[in-house]
């Protein structure tokens, strides 16, 4: 680590001063520079070449677990920690993108509900004002839709529901909510 730091800072300060700062001898630094690569360093270089190839072939989508499996299929004896270390040291990482789901259609011909609260979100008594919201969450199994009813007096959740599809207004769950909201 010390010698690598010295190599990174070579143009900024003289070698002698860098060796003093890092508390190593200039002779030790020269020995480090002329020392041949160790066996593990050589195998890491070969492994890194395979990782780069497989990463490019995967369309930059393989992370540590899938990369390890791919390398094992190629016949390389490698563990997931070593693959992870090499990928991290060489800035090989997957950039995850989330699927975009359009949830609002403003260009519709349905009636628009009146604004009964008029931005007044306070209530003097329980069960005087309720608000409903629907949110969506991306999971490994697909989209989940979460709907909750809150009482504005206590700010507590009165009821909630989770589903794997967005129900229409006339579904059983929404009929129960609309009965209370009206």
Of residues 180 and 50, the one with the higher pLDDT is 50
What is the per-residue pLDDT for 112?
79
Biggest distance spanned by C-alpha atoms of the chain: 85
Residue-level pLDDT at 3: 80
**Distance (Å, whole) CA 136 – CA 10:** 53
Q: What is the pLDDT of residues 81-116, one digit of tens each?
A: 999 999 999 999 988 777 776 767 778 788 877 888
pLDDT band at 167 (very low <50, low <70, confident <90, very high): low
Mean per-residue pLDDT, 133-143: 83
Indicate the pLDDT class of residue 181, thresholds 50, 70 and 90: very low
Residues 24-33: contacts with CB within 8 Å, 24+ apart?
28/3, 29/3, 32/3, 33/3
Beta-carbon contacts of 151 under 8 Å, excluding residues fewer than 6 positions away, are 123, 126, 127, 129, 130, 158
The DSSP call for residue 147 is E
pLDDT, position 172: 53
What residue spans define the domains of the chain?
Answer: 2-89, 98-182
pTM score of the predicted model: 0.45
pLDDT digits (tens, 9 = 90+) for 30-84: 888 888 888 998 999 999 999 999 999 988 889 999 999 999 999 999 999 999 9
Average of per-residue pLDDT across 13-31: 84
Q: How big is the chain, counted in residues? A: 182
Predicted local distance difference test score (pLDDT) of residue 182 = 45
């Amino acid at each position: 680590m010390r010698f690598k730091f010295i190599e990174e800072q070579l143009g900024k300060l003289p070698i002698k001063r860098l060796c003093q700062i890092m508390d190593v001898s200039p002779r030790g630094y020269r020995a480090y520079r002329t020392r041949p690569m160790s066996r593990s360093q050589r195998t890491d270089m070969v492994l890194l070449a395979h990782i780069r190839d497989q990463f490019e072939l995967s369309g930059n989508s393989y992370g540590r677990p899938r990369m390890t499996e791919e390398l094992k299929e190629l016949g390389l004896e490698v563990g997931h920690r070593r693959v992870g270390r090499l990928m991290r040291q060489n800035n090989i990482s997957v950039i995850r993108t989330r699927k975009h789901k359009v949830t609002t259609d403003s260009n519709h011909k349905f009636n628009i509900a009146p604004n009964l609260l008029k931005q007044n979100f306070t209530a003097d008594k329980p069960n005087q004002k309720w608000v409903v919201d629907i949110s969506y969450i991306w999971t490994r199994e697909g989209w989940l839709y979460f709907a909750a009813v809150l009482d504005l007096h206590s700010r507590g959740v009165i009821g909630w529901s989770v589903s794997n599809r967005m129900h229409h207004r006339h579904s059983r769950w929404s009929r129960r909510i609309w009965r209370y909201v009206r």
